[in-house]
Amino acid sequence: MRRGLTVATMAALLALLAGCQVYHAEPLPGAPDFGAAGKTALPLGSLSLTAVAGLAVNNNPDLVASRAKADVAKAQAYAAGLLPDPQFDGSVDYPSDPGAVSGYALGLSEDLQQLLTFPSRQNQAEAATDQARLSLLWDEWQTIEMAGTLGVQKFYGDAKARELGQAAALLQDQAAHSDQALANGNSTIDAAGGDLAVALDATSQSNQAQRAALAADIGLKKLLNVAPDDALQLSDPGDPGTFARQDISTALANITKTRPDLLALQAGYKAQEEVVWQSILDQFPAITFGYNRAADTTPIHTTGLSIAVNLPLFSAPANIRIQHATREQLHAEYQARLDQTNDDAWRLWQEIQLLRDELGKLEAKLPELRRMAEAGQRARANGDLPPATFVVIETSLQARESDYYDVETALWSDTIALHTLLGMPFSPPPPEPLSDEP
């Protein structure tokens, strides 16, 4: 008997060991992974916003971590949907009496309450998996939004820095001429001092624009996970497109079916509904049923059944209250997210209308102001334009150019944000074909 028991026990242990996983160490990295295998390489030439968004989704290190978290959530959901493990008990008695034999006791039991809640836990696991998948998708959408925003900030920031740098150089040159004229007795201290102050202001604005452009460049490279010394060249994004009032109303009416974060919250709420149902089922006594086989030292063999009943007199009501409160919290958070979406969508749409109106006025006046500035530069070179007039024209052009690039950046940023907010992934329009006219 003992030999048969030993053989059966060894066979069971070998069967268990055969399914065990083997430990393998995985050391942490010691250096950045720019250009690592599996990442999309930085293409040559200018990048469109679509290309920037694609690079961000493929290479962004935060998204790589989010995908790893999603894998963890899937594994946890898979584990939650498994049947409960049975419990095995065993013991051996070694008697000191020479006439007695060794005794043993074996038992196998299962928690029936876990079987009762198994369908609900399976539904909860499926909802949790959906939540993890949709949360990852929302992370990708937000990364696309950030990539587009940083892309337009870099493009227009670089252009603004160039324009302000050229204007600052012209005004510095004028300040130098005024200073020389003052030294020669051909100017006054107020005129020379005014030109110097204007040149210093222009230089300060140029420096600020260069720092802002650099910050956008660094932020975009970090988002794309490319080396800091790589050169990023972006193509002109063009016009971001428009939204009609009806487009906003239609998108908001369907927002609960299109936006990943809201769908993820719905899946999380569904999972919590299953938890509430499980807490209701946990009010009933939890029964553990088992089968036992034993032999004492005489030896007398016995076979029997065992039942253990857990009476949830105190814990079940408290757990029900906790799960109901958690569900109410999720309900309130979902409602708040919907309300915030509606408010933000209309706010962004109204801002976009104001920005388009402002941009239209700038585009109507800037060509004329640029022509006046070019004519003023020629007249100044020929000595036909007073320095004060030249400074006024240049500073006015500098201010309007700065406004133009700021408005373009804000218009693009708001439009990209509105696309994401309305559950419509942003896709920049294709560039217009080049004209064949000279």
Contact predicate 431/46, CB 8 Å: no
Q: In what order do the strands lie in the sheet with 286-295?
A: 87-93, 103-111, 286-295, 301-310
Q: How far apart are CA 267 and CA 276, in angstroms?
A: 14
Q: How far apart are CA 188 and CA 182, in angstroms?
A: 6
In the numeric block, the tokens 């439009």 are attached to 415
Query: pLDDT tens digit string along 285-330?
Result: 777 777 888 887 787 888 888 777 777 777 788 888 999 999 999 9
Query: pLDDT tens digit string along 58-74?
Result: 888 888 888 887 787 77
The sign of the CA dihedral 226, 229, 234, 240 is positive
> Looking at the DSSP assignment, which residues form a beta bridge with residue 7?
none
What per-residue confidence (pLDDT) applies to 16? 54
Considering only 88-97, 177-186, 307-316, which range has the smallest mean pLDDT?
307-316
Q: Is 247 exposed, middle or buried (0-12, 13-18, 19+ CB in 10 A)?
A: middle
What per-residue confidence (pLDDT) applies to 34? 60
List, in order of start, the domains of the chain with CATH numbers.
53-77+120-284+313-421 (1.20.1600.10)
pLDDT band at 37 (very low <50, low <70, confident <90, very high): very low
Considering only 27-31, 190-194, 400-404, which range has the smallest mean pLDDT?
27-31
Q: How far apart are CA 195 and CA 380, in angstroms?
A: 14
What per-residue confidence (pLDDT) applies to 297? 77
Who contacts 398 (Cβ-Cβ below 8 Å, separation ≥6)? 163, 164, 167, 171, 202, 205
Percent of the chain with pLDDT over 90: 41
Tokens of 39: 């990442």
pLDDT band at 421 (very low <50, low <70, confident <90, very high): very high
pLDDT band at 36 (very low <50, low <70, confident <90, very high): low
- pLDDT, average across residues 103-115: 79
What per-residue confidence (pLDDT) applies to 5? 47
Q: How many residues does the chain have?
A: 438
What per-residue confidence (pLDDT) applies to 438? 30
- pLDDT, average across residues 13-42: 63
pLDDT band at 436 (very low <50, low <70, confident <90, very high): very low
Amino acid (1-letter code) at residue 90: G
Q: What is the DSSP string of 209-273?
A: HHHHHHHHHHHHHHHHT--TTS---B----------HHHHHHHHHTHHHH-HHHHHHHHHHHHHH
Given a cut of 90, is residue 268 above it in pLDDT? yes
Who contacts 121 (Cβ-Cβ below 8 Å, separation ≥6)? 80, 81, 274, 278
pLDDT band at 228 (very low <50, low <70, confident <90, very high): confident
